[in-house]
């Protein structure tokens, strides 16, 4: 999106450099990515950077409302509520489509948000290897708030481990070795020293949790949670015996699971900004828009794009039996804005926040991007294209 930088990058690109880039990430993390990583990062011009940060801070202001918890109580399904919720999420991510504004300039439009961690460790592995294997102008930065590599990992370590021994903290997932995001688990273990653990490996004694670490039963004092509980319930019959995480356990959560639901698609109808498409809870929709083709239907409790209806019809709305669990959102038109050697790509940008205990506001720290040449954005929708997939941004300030 910065024309001079884009043209220079495309001209210098070689398949050899791309192969070395992929191998560099695999060598650093100890495993190759299980999803497609794009041939290019995204170069974000200063005007768009300003708009993205403004949109994010407007959303943060809503999350900081004194009545935010009250407004989002219905977001947490009763059977998925976990005790001992804290005051705020420790991690938050905000996803934007890059579109064209009315003036023709690049503009962000909110797609989704989550009170949940993302690929925090791997994104820096990726960004570092882009810099190592390709020419990235020094004035462009993947970080925010003046962070560098050391400060970023120190912040992650303080956020996730705190005063605990690394062996007392685990990254919890369902079958972590089978997840497409497992490269992030390996990078987290390498840089922070905490192990990825499957829920089936937890041992419960009274209300305390343990796991086997280097042959010794070790107390779990803090969980860096990567489980999406809705997915856990769908898989639990195939998992076999495992600890019930919905009980009062003597453990700290980073981030507490309830925030995954509070800050989610459920939040979107509460948000109002030039960079946020109008959304309604379906059961509170005042009138069905005449131009339904300009809207999308999203289930509140389905993730990774599952169940989203893009070409909405009246029949789709009539068929929904639980409208309280759906939102109708003004459709966002992605701009084919990334020039590649074989056609233009569309782009989504995830802004990544960390919120330490005691901090008045969350802190914007890093980013993630995804490129596509199809209708859907996501690493699972681009298996046959090139210059698409997971990526990261380098921002001009």
For residue 246, is it within any domain?
no
| Co-location of 144 and 1 in the same domain | yes
Q: What is the pLDDT of residue 310?
A: 86
Q: pTM of the predicted model, to two decimals? A: 0.94
Query: Are 324 and 343 in a shared domain?
Result: no
**Section 332-350 average pLDDT:** 96
Q: Write out pLDDT tens, residues 144-176.
A: 999 999 999 999 999 999 999 999 999 999 999
Residues 145 and 6 in one domain: yes
Q: Which domain does 136 fall in, by range?
A: 1-67+92-152+270-277+335-397
Do residue 302 and residue 362 come from a single domain?
Answer: no
Please identify, among 309, 331, 353, the residue that sits at the C-terminal boundary of a domain.
331
Alpha-carbon span 180 to 397, nearest angstrom: 33
> Is position 234 within any domain?
no
Q: Per the domain annotation, does 10 fall within a domain?
A: yes
The C-alpha atoms of residue 213 and residue 223 are separated, in whole angstroms, by 15
Confidence class for position 3, pLDDT limits 50, 70, 90: very high
Q: Where does the pLDDT of residue 235 fall: very low under 50, low under 70, confident under 90, or very high at 90 and above?
A: confident
Q: How many domains does the chain have?
A: 2
CA distance 93 to 395: 17
Is residue 18 in some structural domain?
yes
339 and 307 share one domain: no
Residues 346 and 318 in one domain: no
Average pLDDT, the chain: 94
Task: Please check whether residue 43 lies inside any domain of the structure.
Answer: yes
Within this chain, do residues 347 and 359 fall inside the same structural domain, yes or no? Answer: yes
Q: State pLDDT tens for residues 262-284.
A: 999 999 999 999 999 999 999 99
Instruction: Give the β-pairing of 195-198 and 169-173.
Output: parallel
How many angstroms separate the Cα of 50 from the Cα of each of 73, 100, 199, 392?
32, 15, 41, 17
Q: At what angle do helices 149-160 and 182-192 cross, to 10 degrees?
A: 90
392 and 314 assigned to the same domain: no
């Amino acid at each position: 999106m910065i024309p001079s930088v884009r043209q220079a990058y495309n001209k210098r690109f070689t398949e050899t450099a791309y192969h070395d880039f992929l191998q560099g990430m695999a060598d650093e993390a100890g495993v190759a990515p299980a999803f497609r990583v794009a041939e290019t990062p995204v170069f974000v011009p200063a005007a768009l950077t300003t708009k993205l940060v403004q949109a994010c801070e407007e959303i943060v202001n809503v999350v900081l409302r004194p009545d935010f918890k009250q407004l989002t109580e219905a977001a947490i399904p009763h059977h998925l509520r976990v005790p001992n919720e804290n005051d705020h999420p420790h991690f938050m991510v905000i996803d934007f489509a890059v579109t064209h504004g009315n003036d023709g300039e690049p503009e962000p439009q909110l797609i989704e948000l989550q009170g949940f961690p993302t690929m925090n460790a791997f994104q820096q592995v990726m960004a570092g290897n882009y810099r190592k294997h390709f020419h990235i102008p020094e004035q462009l930065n993947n970080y925010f708030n003046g962070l560098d590599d050391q400060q970023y990992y120190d912040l992650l370590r303080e956020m996730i481990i705190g005063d605990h021994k690394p062996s007392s903290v685990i990254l919890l997932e369902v079958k972590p070795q089978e997840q497409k995001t497992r490269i992030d688990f390996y990078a987290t273990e390498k840089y922070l020293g905490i192990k990825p653990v499957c829920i089936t490996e937890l041992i419960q004694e009274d209300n305390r949790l343990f796991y086997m670490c280097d042959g010794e039963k070790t107390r779990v004092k803090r969980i860096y949670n990567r489980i999406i509980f809705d997915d856990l319930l769908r898989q639990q019959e195939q998992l076999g015996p495992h600890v019930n995480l919905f009980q009062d356990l003597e453990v700290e959560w980073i981030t507490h699971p309830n925030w995954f639901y509070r800050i989610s698609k459920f939040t979107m109808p509460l948000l109002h900004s030039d960079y946020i498409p109008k959304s309604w809870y379906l059961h509170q929709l005042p009138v069905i828009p005449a131009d339904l083709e300009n809207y999308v239907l999203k289930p509140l409790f389905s993730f990774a794009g599952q169940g989203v209806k893009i070409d909405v019809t009246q029949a789709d709305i009539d068929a929904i039996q639980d409208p309280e669990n759906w939102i109708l959102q003004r459709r966002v038109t992605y701009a084919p804005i990334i020039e590649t050697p074989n056609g233009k790509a569309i782009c989504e940008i995830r802004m990544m926040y960390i919120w330490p205990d005691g901090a008045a506001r969350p802190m914007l720290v890093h980013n993630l991007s995804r490129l596509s040449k199809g209708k859907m954005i996501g690493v699972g929708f681009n298996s046959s294209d090139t210059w698409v997939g997971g990526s990261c941004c380098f921002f001009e300030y």
